[in-house]
């Protein structure tokens, strides 16, 4: 008996040792990868400054001083990066969103993508850090709200407005594809608007590297056996006419969707209405909802919705009383179709060249005036977000990440070795204007089982809001 117990302990100890070895290997690899990335970014910042100076009328002596000033800031940046950041450095303002449960793989994936991708189409990550209980993601705050809230207010969007935001969505999706990631959770809730009405993509908890070979597939010809989906069903998700029940009109369908969508917004349960074989399908579903008022495969229950998606040929149609241009209908149909025929599978230029986008200047899409400008009264304004019940703030204590954490690491902790991240612009802002870092959105996801809350905080008390994700 004692030998058996001893053997189990040895196996367990060996397993933990292997996990530590794997974590150490990953940390070393990430460390040198980050070092090389930082060196490259430093060279790029100097090159940008030199290029601007070369095309300006700044005297030679002043140019030398500006370059020296940049070098001083770079040195200061390296020094400040070693300073610990913890929750005490921020002031909790309010909860502006609520998400699902945090999982180790999802948090790590989101942190890695946000730290790697620098794009005006993607929300910025300012910091990621951890303490003994939580993981934190400090992100840009976009006070314009999200597309879901806009659709709930407006019911439908005019084609020119929908065209603008679908075009920006195409650019956002392409920007992460260029970094070999796929989002896998494209939906109106994750399309955020800044104060000027421009859209940015958020929530990368389900993202995956493009070279991942273990992604599950959905066989459209697969027979779905479930007691809940054997009943006859019409195209709108209501009982079949043969059963004696009346089909609901497009207007009734819209009202039914709006009622359930509002309930869904206040729950921690996701929606399958945008579930997709891949992200371009989701884009087509969002475009349909923008113009029609509800998703193309909406139903009373998720299982029926999933069945309608699998058998999309039998369930995709446009309400007769909805006035859509032929080009809009064509684009939707060419996104909500088999992958072999789906527009964009050979690159974003396929979508950009579609006739519905005639008149869109793609290179200037984020420089031009937005098709919709939200009402924003100050950088701390939260009127464009739904109201949530306040929860107790996280316990304070300067237990930020770093080598000072001497406690014994658990297997769960090993997953987050090297989790800390600091953005150059954010650190420089703290150096230049202490207490005035302008950020926007903190997402906190507790490790416990209570889901996640997006909380709005400020840095130092005088800053604009920021968004943080906290996971225990």
Positions in the chain whose pLDDT score sits under 70: 1-13, 98-105, 210-278, 390-418, 425-472
Q: What is the length of the chain?
A: 472
Class of the 87-143+378-471 domain? alpha beta
State the DSSP string of 169-220. Answer: HHHHHHHHHTTTEE----SGGGEEE-TTS-EEE---TT-EETT-S------T
Query: Model confidence over 116-153: pLDDT tens digits?
Result: 888 889 998 888 888 878 888 888 889 999 999 899 88
pLDDT for 426: 63
Burial 166-203 (b: 16+ CB within 10 A, else e): bbbbbbbbbbbbeeebbbbbbbbbbbbbbbebbbbbbb
List C-alpha distances in Å: 225 to 30, 228, 229, 236, 273: 45, 9, 8, 21, 20
Q: Does 124 count as an annotated binding residue? A: yes
H or E segment at 281?
A: helix 279-292
Q: Please give the structure tokens belonging to residue 363.
A: 């290179």
pLDDT for 98: 67
* Phi and psi at residue 358, to the nearest 5°: -55, 130
Q: Please give the structure tokens belonging to residue 325.
A: 């241009």
Strands 135-139 and 441-444: antiparallel
Class of the 148-364 domain? mainly alpha
Q: How many CB atoms lie within 10 A of CB 108?
A: 18
Active site residue 203: no
**Active-site option among 89, 131, 146, 185:** 185
Q: In angstroms, what is the C-alpha Rg of the chain?
A: 25
CB 276, CB 186: distance < 8 Å: yes
CA distance 197 to 364: 15
End-to-end CA, the chain: 38
DSSP β-bridge partners for residue 421? 128
Q: Please give the structure tokens belonging to residue 241.
A: 């006419």
H or E segment at 326?
A: helix 326-335
pLDDT for 32: 77
3-state helix vs strand vs coil in the chain, percent to 5 = 45, 10, 45
CB 111, CB 421: distance < 8 Å: yes
């Amino acid at each position: 008996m004692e030998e058996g117990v001893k053997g189990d302990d040895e196996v367990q100890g060996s397993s933990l040792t292997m996990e530590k070895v794997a974590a150490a290997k990953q940390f070393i690899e990430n460390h040198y990868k980050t070092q090389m990335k930082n060196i490259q970014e430093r060279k790029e910042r100097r090159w940008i400054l030199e290029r601007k100076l070369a095309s300006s009328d700044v005297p030679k002596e002043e140019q030398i001083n500006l370059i020296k000033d940049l070098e001083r800031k770079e040195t200061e940046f390296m020094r400040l990066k070693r300073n610990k950041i913890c929750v005490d450095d921020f002031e909790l303002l309010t909860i502006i969103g609520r998400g699902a449960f945090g999982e180790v793989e999802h948090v790590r994936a989101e942190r890695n993508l946000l730290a790697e991708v620098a794009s005006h189409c993607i929300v910025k990550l300012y910091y990621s850090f951890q303490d003994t209980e939580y993981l934190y993601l400090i992100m840009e705050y976009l006070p314009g709200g999200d597309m879901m809230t806009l659709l709930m207010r407006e019911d439908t969007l005019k084609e020119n407005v929908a065209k603008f935001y679908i075009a920006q969505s195409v650019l956002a999706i392409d920007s992460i594809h260029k970094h070999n990631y796929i989002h896998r959770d494209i939906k109106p809730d994750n399309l955020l608007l800044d104060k000027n009405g421009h859209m940015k993509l958020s929530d990368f908890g389900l993202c995956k590297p493009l070279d991942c070979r273990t992604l599950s597939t959905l066989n459209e010809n697969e027979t779905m056996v479930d007691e809940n989906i054997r009943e006859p069903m019409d195209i709108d998700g209501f009982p079949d006419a043969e059963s004696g029940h009346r089909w609901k009109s497009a207007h009734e369908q819209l009202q039914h969707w709006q009622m359930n969508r509002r309930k869904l917004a206040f729950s921690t349960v996701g929606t399958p209405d945008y579930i997709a074989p891949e992200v371009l399908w989701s884009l087509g579903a969002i475009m349909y909802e923008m113009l029609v008022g509800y998703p193309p495969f909406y139903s009373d229950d998720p299982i029926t919705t999933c069945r309608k998606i699998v058998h999309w040929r039998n369930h995709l149609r446009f309400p007769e009383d909805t006035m859509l241009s032929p080009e809009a209908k064509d684009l939707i149909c060419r996104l909500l179709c088999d992958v072999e025929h789906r527009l964009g599978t050979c690159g974003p230029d396929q979508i950009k060249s579609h006739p519905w986008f005639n008149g869109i200047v793609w290179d200037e899409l984020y420089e031009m005036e937005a098709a919709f400008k939200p009402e924003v009264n100050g950088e701390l304004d939260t009127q464009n977000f739904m109201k949530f019940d306040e929860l107790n703030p996280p316990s304070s204590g300067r237990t930020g990440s770093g080598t000072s954490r001497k406690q014994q690491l658990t297997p769960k902790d090993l997953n987050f070795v090297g989790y800390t991240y600091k953005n150059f612009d954010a650190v420089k802002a703290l150096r230049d204007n202490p207490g005035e870092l302008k950020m926007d959105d903190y997402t906190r996801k507790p490790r416990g089982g209570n889901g996640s809350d997006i909380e709005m905080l400020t840095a130092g008390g005088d800053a604009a809001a920021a968004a943080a994700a906290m996971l225990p």
